[in-house]
Amino acid sequence: MRRIIVAGNWKMHGSSEMTADLISGVARRAFEASRISEQRELGYDILVFPPAPYLSQAVANSDSLPITVGAQNASQFDSGAYTGEVSLAMLSEIGCEYVLIGHSERRKLFNETDDEVAEKFAACLSESVKVRPLLCIGETLAERQSGTTEAVIAAQLDAVIDKVGITGFADSVIAYEPVWAIGTGETASPEQAQDVHAFIRNKLDKLDAKIAQSLRILYGGSVKPSNAHALFVQKDIDGGLIGGASLEVDDFAGICEAVQKIIEKT
């Protein structure tokens, strides 16, 4: 069984107080649900992606806790005259272990192309950088309704594969984001989500079965405590990239508790 990830993308929300409260509160609830002490690790991974100003604090607050910190975005460039950008080396230096690459909002609102996303992904694989890419892919409502879901996702994957090859996914994570099910009132059923996750894994399996079967693929379409269990028991869904529900201790911890129950039954 692949190790489940519960990842919280805070987007442009947060404060110093929220950072401290969320990290400590979620960790406490996770320990309570698993009935273990702070000296032992959980049977799954918890990631948080705070806004850039709170990354250093999040790293400090999560020290000795089973919570890993990632950034929401990074530049593909090492350094230079790129006002407002943050390099992967900077993120690595302050203790970030992951970075979101190609989030749907970056693609839509900031016009990031598949090629630019591939360049950022490739930059994460540099030997001098120790930041794992969490690649976000997914289709819009119009694309789903037109029956092009698989073609869109294949193109997003191919841009990265063409840049780094299948080996680039050996130490990476993918998140499937059905854009049409994020903040729209629409929802994807566990079966719909599983179908796309299976498509992603099968596509990569044709290139390298070992990498494809070990790769963790998260679901990023409005995960909540009420639907987490049904989603995460699907064969090819290895956890969630969570938006709004990651901003409240009760909701985020509730998802972690659902994962704990899954682990206990396996």
Task: Output the six-digit token pair for 46.
Answer: 């918890």
> Which of the following is catalytic: 41, 103, 112, 150?
103
Q: Is 248 a catalytic residue?
A: no
Identify whether 163 is part of a domain. yes
Q: Which residues contact 32 (CB under 8 A, 6 or more apart)?
A: none
For the segment 168-191, what is each residue's pLDDT rounded down to a tens digit? 999 999 999 999 887 776 778 999
Question: Between vectors from CA 218 to CA 212 and to CA 219, what angle results, nearest 5°?
Answer: 130
Q: Which residues contact 15 (CB under 8 A, 6 or more apart)?
A: 54
Q: Helix or strand or coil: residue 71? A: strand
Overall number of domains in the chain: 1
Identify whether 90 is part of a domain. yes
HEC per residue, 216-256: EEEECCCCCHHHHHHHHCCCCCCEEEECHHHCCHHHHHHHH
Identify whether 262 is part of a domain. no
Identify whether 148 is part of a domain. yes
The pLDDT score that the predictor gives to residue 67 is 97
> Which of the following is catalytic: 112, 119, 177, 197?
177
The Cα-based distances of 135 to 32, 101, 146, 216 in angstroms read 31, 5, 24, 11
Q: Is 103 a catalytic residue?
A: yes
The pLDDT score that the predictor gives to residue 73 is 98
What distance lies between CA 260 and its chain's CA centroid? Answer: 19
The pLDDT score that the predictor gives to residue 188 is 84
Residue 144 sits in a domain whose CATH number is 3.20.20.70
Identify whether 21 is part of a domain. yes
- What is the domain extent for residue 36? 5-257
All residue ranges of the chain with pLDDT < 70 are: 36-40, 185
Cβ pair 71, 91 in contact under 8 A: yes
Residues present in the chain in total? 266
Identify whether 85 is part of a domain. yes
For the segment 68-90, what is each residue's pLDDT rounded down to a tens digit? 999 999 999 999 999 999 999 99
Identify whether 266 is part of a domain. no
Q: How far apart are CA 192 and CA 68, in angstroms?
A: 29
Identify whether 264 is part of a domain. no
